[in-house]
Amino acid sequence: MIKIGALVSGGGTNLQAIIDNINEGKIDGKIVTVVSNKANAYALERAAKYNIEGTVIKVKDYPDRKAYSQALIDHFKEKQVDLILLAGFMVILDPVFTETFPNMIMNIHPALIPSFCGEGFYGLHVHEAALEKGVKVTGATVHFVDGKADNGPIILQKAVEVRDNDTPEILQKRVMEEAEWKIFPEAVSLFAQGRLKVEGTKVIRLTL
Ligand code: GAR
């Protein structure tokens, strides 16, 4: 059973999907810590409901991003996590964080990378950009995190249809329901089974 740590900033619906899949026996893992950069993140309440320990580590309590990232490293090392999930985490971390946990950090992004990703593309902004461009298909991506925003090896992707009358909010909900809440737990499950192998910039999914 793997030990999972999660970083969150907001509502935590993706965290909920992971919790549900663990409780249904679909992921051989346990969430040992949930860390939020915001004290009022609803994700912390979700964790508390399942007696999962929640911790608030705020950016403004540290002199710079490197010191903040180091505080997170210390926390996750103390908890001895095997995998760290960025489950709606809206802070860009210093490369020291990704270098400390190579191929051990997973992010869920609400678009088909390499579209609508990188700095500034987070949350609802991603869906606003997709609608502005007029794409007919969008989706979600789970990837390992490296030193650059939304850049690491892609693990899973799922496409979602864009409809003519979509608003960013409606599209966000469809992408979450049809893609994010499915592929994020699936990727964690594959990781827990030791079925993800990183070769260069690509992920190979092993069949056991
Ligand atoms: C999700 O749509 C997630 O993909 C996105 O923020 C939302 C968080 O929702 N993440 C990013 O944009 C990261 N770049 P949640 O808190 O309900 O899981």
- Residue identifier of the C-alpha nearest atom 14 of ligand 1: 122
Q: Give the pLDDT mean for 79-105.
A: 97
User: pTM for this one?
Assistant: 0.97
CA gyration radius, the chain: 16
Ligand 1: centre distance to CA 79 (Å): 24
Q: Smallest Cα–Cα separation from 52: which of 35, 37, 76? A: 35
* pLDDT tens-place string over residues 150-196: 999 999 999 999 999 999 999 999 999 999 999 999 999 999 999 99
**Could you tell me which of 74, 114, 121 has the C-alpha nearest to residue 97?**
74
Q: Which atom of ligand 1 is nearest to the CA of 110?
A: 4
Place of tokens 């971390």: 93
What pLDDT, on the 0 to 100 scale, is given for residue 108? Answer: 98
Measured CA angle at 52 (ends 110, 152), to 5 deg: 30
Please indicate whether residue 109 is annotated as part of the active site: yes
- Amino acid (one-letter) located at 55: T
The answer to whether the CB of 109 is under 6 A from ligand 1 is yes
The Å distance, Cα 125 to ligand 1 centre, comes to 11
Of all atoms in ligand 1, which is nearest to the CA of residue 109? 4
Could you report the per-residue pLDDT of 104-155, keeping only the tens digit for each? 999 999 999 999 999 999 999 999 999 999 999 999 999 999 999 999 999 9
**Nearest of 149, 9, 172 to residue 90 by alpha carbon:** 9
Alpha-carbon gap, residue 114 to 117, rounded angstroms? 6
pLDDT(208) > 90: no
Contact status, residue 93 vs residue 65, Cβ threshold 8 Å: yes
The arithmetic mean of pLDDT across residues 80-108, rounded, is: 97
- How many CA atoms are closer than 13 Å to the CA of 8, on its beta-carbon side? 27
* pLDDT score at 43: 98
Q: Is 171 in the pocket of ligand 1 (CB under 6 A)?
A: no
Would residue 103 be called left, alpha or beta, if left means φ above 0 and alpha means ψ between -120 and 50 degrees?
left
User: Can you tell me which residue has the tokens 């679909």?
Assistant: 26
- Closest atom of ligand 1 relative to the 122 alpha carbon: 12
* 34, 55 Cβ separation under 8 angstroms: yes
Report pLDDT digits (tens) over 42-71. 999 999 999 999 999 999 999 999 999 999
**For 94, which DSSP code?**
P
Judging by DSSP bridges, how do beta strands 54-56 and 83-86 pair with one another?
unpaired
Measure 1 CA to ligand 1 centroid, in angstroms. 26
Q: To the nearest whole number, what is the mean pLDDT of the chain? A: 97
Percent of the chain's residues with pLDDT above 70: 100
